[in-house]
Chain A
Amino acid sequence: QVHLQESGPGLVKPSETLSLTCSVSGASISSDFWSWVRQPPGKGLEWIAYVHHSGNTEYHPSLKSRVTISLDTSNNQFSLRLRSVTAADTAVYYCARLQQVAERPPEYFDYWGRGTLVTVSS
């Protein structure tokens, strides 16, 4: 069974950098796509970024200038860095595996972590 778990600070000050790590067990990050999704309080889900096992990355256009997603194959983890945060970045952050079928773009998230709440406040 594939298991994902997010870790990182629950509180980040405005203008600083939010850093999260997703630890994966039951699957190798050297295959598939891996992604971050967030849910601000009282709002819907928002895709942030994904990384392919080859190292190729894609970012949501609205966040692209502030976000970096990366793989750590030696520890079977992947990470998210979001710079210059504001209160609008307060959300539950989820890591998830993104599935691709045949040669189509990646389609659906088949395994998720439980999420971690990150609050941006001074």
Chain B
Amino acid sequence: QSVLTQPPSVSGTPGQRVSISCSGSTSSIGRNFVHWYQLLPGTAPKLVIFRTNQRPSGVPDRFSGSQSGTSASLASSGLRSEDEADYFCEVWDDSLSGPVFGGGTMLTGL
């Protein structure tokens, strides 16, 4: 059971705005920045959002992040087929003295 809670799956039609939630605790999301990763089978995981809402170079600007209280979310302003992947949130947990991950969300197009 993961320390951070994500919905197992989220789906949307092409061009639709979709978002993925990530729920934690006061010792994790309540105190530290949330980061998001995209996983595709057979490829290296890719950082898509860091420090709540920062995009690494090369990540499309349709991806955005937000964080409030003990929750965070990742959004795509217009779903594209290449966005279909598993997404994981991650945050430093003060009680663990280490990073923790969500259980992952499979983003699919309808």
Using a CB–CB cutoff of 8 Å, the interface residues on chain A facing chain B are: 4, 37, 43-47, 50, 58, 60-61, 94, 96, 98-99, 101, 105-115
Contact = CB atoms under 8 A, between A and B. Distances in A.
A108 B90 contact: yes
A94 B45 contact: yes
A47 B43 contact: no
Contact of A44 (B2, B50, B99): B2
Contact of B50 (A43, A60, A107): A107
Given A60-B98, A107-B50, A109-B90, A45 B104 contact: yes
A109 B92 contact: no
A99 B44 CA distance: 17
Contact of B33 (A37, A43, A107, A111): A107
Nearest to B98: A47
Given A45-B88, A101-B51, A109 B45 contact: yes
B68 interface: no
Nearest to A48: B98
Interface string B71-108: 00000000000000000101010001111111110000
A114 B43 contact: yes
Contact of B102 (A37, A44, A47, A50): A44
Interface residues of B, number: 26
Contact of B92 (A61, A105, A112): A105
Contacts of A58: 97-98
7 contacts: A44-B88, A45-B37, A45-B90, A45-B104, A47-B98, A107-B32, A109-B35
Nearest to B56: A110
Interface string B32-60: 11010100001111110011000010000
Given A107-B92, A108-B47, A44 B98 contact: no
Given A61-B96, A107-B50, A46 B101 contact: yes
Interface in B14-47: 32-33, 35, 37, 42-47
Nearest to B101: A45
A93 B47 CA distance: 17
